[in-house]
Amino acid sequence: MKQIMRAIGLMSGTSMDGIDVALIETDGIDYVKPLKSTALDYNPDFKKQIERALVDAQSMTNRQGRPGCLADVERAITAWHIYAVAQLGEIADVVGFHGQTVLHRPGEGYSVQLGDGAALARESGMDVVFDMRANDMVHGGQGAPLVPVYHQALAAQLDEDTQNGGVGFVNIGGISNATFVFKGEDPIALDCGPGNALLDQWVQSEAGIPYDDGGHIAGEGIADNTIVERYLQLPFFERQGPKSLDRGDFTLDYVKGMELSDGAATLAKLTANAIAKSAADLTRMPKMLIISGGGARNASIMRYLNEVAGDDVTVAASESYGFNADMMEAEAWAYLAVRSLKGLPLTFPSTTGCDKPVTGGVFAKAI
C-alpha cells in the first residue's frame, strides 16, 4: 500500500521576500493534498543581510565554505525557518527545507543554499530533508529546477481534456521557470529567464519601492521591443534546455536611462517573451499555461504573456484550477522530501539534464 505522509515544505526563494510554509499530505507519487499554509515576511534589515550574503558568496571556493558574513547569515536564516515552522503550529513526518540560494553555478557543478538542516530538526523536533539540489549536480544535472516532478503530480489532477492537450506550469518568481507536461511522458523543464527580479531591481532603483504592485507602473509605459530583443539575444536564450540561472545572471544595463514606466513595461514584456521562447524548442505546444509565483499578480506580465501565447494557448492563473499560486514551491519541497525518504527520483534527464533519474537530499533526524 502507498504510504501517505504529512510533510511540511519551506521555501525562501530568489526574491528574498520571506518564507513560504506549506503542509501537505502525500504519498510522494500521485496523491497530493495541501492542508494548510502560512508565510513569514523577512524584515527589510534582514533582506539587506541576505543581499550582503549574495555578495560574499561570490568569493566562495567550495560549497562548504562560509566566507565573510555567510556563517552569521546562515545561522539567522535557520532561526527564521525554525520560527516559521513554529508559526505553522503543525507536526509532520518530515520537513523539506530549501534554504536560501546564495550562489548557483551549474557550469562548475555546485549550488549553495544557506540553512542548517540538523539545527532545524533539533529545534522543530521533526525529521528534515535539506540540500536537495546537490545530488542532481553530482549526476551532471543543473541542480534546478526541482519543482517539475511536483508539477507532474499536479497535472495528473486535471481533467482528461486538459491533460491531453499538454500543460505548461510557469512559475514567475525572481527567476521564472517552466515545466511542460504531456501525458505519459517525462516532464520537460527549464529556467526561462528573469521573472520579477529585474523588474523589482528597476522600481527599487528608480522609485524606491520594492515591486511593481499589480504591474500598474509597467501598465502606464510602452515597452521598447528593440531592448526586449537585445536581452533575448543573450547566449542563455540561444541554449536549449535543460538550463538554469543564478539571480545575478542578468542586469539592468539595457534599460538604464529609460523612463520609469517604459523601463518597467520593457522588463515585463521581457519576462513574458522569455517564457514564450522557452517553449520554442518543444515539438508541440501545450494548449494550457498555468501561472504561479508572485508574477501572476502582475497584470502587465500576464497581459504580455497572453499576447505572446496567441489564440491557441490559454493562459490561466493557478487559482482557476484550485492550485495555490503562492505556495506551489513550498508544497513542492514537502513533496520532494517525501520522495527523498522513499528513495524516489527528484530529477530526470529531461528536467535538469542529469545522466539518469536521481533522488537527492540530506536527511537530518529529529532528536
* Site for ligand ATP, rule CB under 6 A: 13-15, 17, 171, 173-175, 195-196, 200, 211-215, 293-295, 297-298, 329
Q: What is the DSSP letter of 13?
A: -
Residue 135 grid coordinates: 545530488
Q: In this chain, which residue has its C-beta nearest to ligand ATP?
A: 294
User: Which of ligand ATP, ligand AH0, none does residue 151 bind (CB under 5 to 8 Å by kind)?
Assistant: none
Which of 132/285 has CB closer to ligand ATP? 132
Length of the chain: 367
Q: Count of CB atoms within 10 A of residue 358's CB?
A: 19
Measure the N-to-C terminal CA separation of the chain; round to a whole number of Å: 28
DSSP 180-201: EE-TTS--EEEEEEESSHHHHH
User: Which of ligand ATP, ligand AH0, none does residue 244 bind (CB under 5 to 8 Å by kind)?
Assistant: ligand AH0
Query: Does the annotation place 14 within a ligand binding site?
Result: yes
Decide: is 145 part of the binding site for ligand AH0 (CB under 6 A).
Answer: yes
Beta bridge partners of 103: 112
Which of 266/292 has CB closer to ligand AH0? 292
Check: CB of residue 188 under 8 Å from CB of residue 353.
no
Q: How far is the CB of 302 from ligand ATP (least distance, A)?
A: 10
Check: CB of residue 129 under 8 Å from CB of residue 363.
yes
Q: What is the DSSP letter of 1?
A: -
Query: Does the annotation place 159 within a ligand binding site?
Result: no
> What is the distance between the alpha carbons of residues 65 and 68, in angstroms, rounded to a whole number?
10
> What is the distance between the alpha carbons of residues 96 and 131, in angstroms, rounded to a whole number?
9
User: Which of ligand AH0, ligand ATP, none does residue 147 bind (CB under 5 to 8 Å by kind)?
Assistant: ligand AH0
Decide: is 124 part of the binding site for ligand AH0 (CB under 6 A).
Answer: no
> What is the distance between the alpha carbons of residues 71 and 112, in angstroms, rounded to a whole number?
13
The interface mask with ligand AH0, positions 5-44, x = CB under 6 A, is: --------xx------------------------------
Which of 196/261 has CB closer to ligand AH0? 196
Q: Count of CB atoms within 10 A of residue 257's CB?
A: 6
Which of 37/162 has CB closer to ligand ATP? 37
Residue 310 region by backbone torsions, left for phi larger than 0, else alpha for psi between -120 and 50, else beta: left
Query: Does the annotation place 17 within a ligand binding site?
Result: yes
| Binding to ligand AH0, residues 323-362 (CB under 6 A) | 329
The interface mask with ligand AH0, positions 168-197, x = CB under 6 A, is: -----xxx-x-------------x------
**C-alpha angle with apex 63: 62 to 69, nearest 5 degrees?**
95
User: Which of ligand AH0, ligand ATP, none does residue 297 bind (CB under 5 to 8 Å by kind)?
Assistant: ligand ATP
> What is the distance between the alpha carbons of residues 140 and 144, in angstroms, rounded to a whole number?
11
Decide: is 131 part of the binding site for ligand AH0 (CB under 6 A).
Answer: no
Query: Does the annotation place 1 within a ligand binding site?
Result: no
User: Which of ligand AH0, ligand ATP, none does residue 34 bind (CB under 5 to 8 Å by kind)?
Assistant: none
DSSP 84-146: HHHHHT---SEEEEEEEEEEEEGGGTEEEEE--HHHHHHHHSS-EEE--SHHHHHTT--S---
| Binding to ligand AH0, residues 238-297 (CB under 6 A) | 244-245
The interface mask with ligand AH0, positions 83-112, x = CB under 6 A, is: ------------------x--x------x-
The torsion angles phi and psi of 197, rounded to 5 degrees, stand at -60, -45
Burial category of 8 from C-beta neighbours within 10 Å (exposed 0-12, middle 13-18, buried 19 and up): buried
Q: Which residues are annotated as a binding site?
A: 13-20
User: Which spans of this chain sit near ligand AH0 (rule: CB under 6 A)?
Assistant: 13-14, 101, 104, 111, 144-147, 173-175, 177, 191, 244-245, 329
Q: Which residues are annotated as a binding site for ATP?
A: 13-20
